Amino acid sequence: MDVVAPFRLDGRVALVTGASSGLGARFCRVLHAAGAKVVLAARRMQRLEELARELTDALPVACDVTDEASVDALFEVARKRFGRLDVLVNGAGDADPYAAEEEPLAAFADVVRLNLIAAYSVAQHAARPMLAQGSGSIVNIASVLGVVGGGIHPTPGYAASKGGLVNLTRELAVEWAGRGVRVNAIAPAYFESELTAEIFASKKALDAIAHMMPMRRPGRAHELDGPLLFLASDASSYVTGQVLAVDGGFLAK
Ligand SMILES: NC(=O)c1ccc[n+]([C@@H]2O[C@H](COP(=O)([O-])OP(=O)(O)OC[C@H]3O[C@@H](n4cnc5c(N)ncnc54)[C@H](OP(=O)(O)O)[C@@H]3O)[C@@H](O)[C@H]2O)c1
């Protein structure tokens, strides 16, 4: 019995948005290490090219996921290069640092456009070839703030968009479950990245995390590797519509 084999992604093609930094760049390395060919998508092409040089047969593509034409072009370039798509990691995202009573609606709309509407557009684009081939796994990077309110700093658009992404995950999962395409989400708590740089630079914020988290610490970079690989691969072949919290017990409280 080879219980590790279903976690392998040999011969599979994965596409990761938000691949130029933080969690997304790490996900590209993880999927590649498991055997996948990876399409790296984000706006900062130089970062993508640097990462692609580390990997075998990776394809860096400059893409603004909020621009439909840019997303069309991303999937067209990926199709021409690899001819199939097996895994999508919807990782591009940002937050809006405003108290709710002060936030301009334009800032709220921008975050919803990126974290929710663009994630939907990218999932639609990925699902078309996946549905045609009868297989595929979509992993949306949500957040614990898509499930509960009250993070370290107020970020209303982020919470709303990630909450939307959590239930969009369930809707897409149910729509596509009978046609071989699974859709799940990961809800991380706090991990170091450009997005959370201010938090990780502040002793006060880190103390607040230690106080909030049952495990008394933020996540470590490698602690998302296993959850991502599980959901991306056949190891989770009977799992769809789920939100896997990787949060040191935060949502269990
Ligand atoms: N770090 C955490 O603690 C944490 C916790 C929960 C959830 N998350 C989620 O994890 C995901 C990755 O975040 P991170 O922490 O790794 O932050 P990060 O380092 O700031 O990465 C964000 C990524 O999104 C990309 N991006 C932003 N706007 C884009 C656009 N319009 N088009 C294409 N790509 C765009 C950025 O690339 P370019 O600027 O090059 O376009 C970058 O690669 C996000 O969805 C975030 O909400 C993170």
Q: Is 223 in the pocket of ligand 1 (CB under 6 A)?
A: no
201-253 pLDDT tens trace = 999 999 999 999 999 999 999 999 999 999 999 999 999 999 999 999 999 99
Q: Is 194 in the pocket of ligand 1 (CB under 6 A)?
A: yes
Quick one: which atom of ligand 1 is closest to the CA of 66?
31
Quick one: which atom of ligand 1 is closest to the CA of 92?
24
* Nearest CA, atom 2, ligand 1: 191
Give yes or no: 98 in active site.
no
Q: Of 21, 40, 17, which Cα lies nearest the Cα of 89?
A: 17
Cα dihedral 35, 41, 47, 53 in deg (nearest 10): 30
Q: Is 170 in the pocket of ligand 1 (CB under 6 A)?
A: no
Q: Is 224 in the pocket of ligand 1 (CB under 6 A)?
A: no
Give distance in angstroms: CA of 5 to centre of ligand 1.
30
pLDDT, mean of residues 173-192: 98
Q: Does domain 5-243 have CATH number 3.40.190.80?
A: no
Residue 122: how many CA atoms within 13 Å on its side-chain side?
Answer: 36
Q: Of 103, 123, 125, which Cα lies nearest the Cα of 115?
A: 123
pTM: 0.98
Confirm if 12 and 87 have CB atoms less than 8 A apart: yes
Give residue 241's pLDDT: 99
Give residue 208's pLDDT: 94
Whole-angstrom distance, CA of residue 116 vs CA of residue 164:
7
Confirm if 66 and 18 have CB atoms less than 8 A apart: no
Angle between helices 105-112 and 156-176 (to 10 degrees): 30
Residue 107 pLDDT class (50, 70, 90 cuts)? very high
Quick one: which atom of ligand 1 is closest to the CA of 19?
43
Name the amino acid, one letter, at 107.
Answer: A
Give residue 151's pLDDT: 85
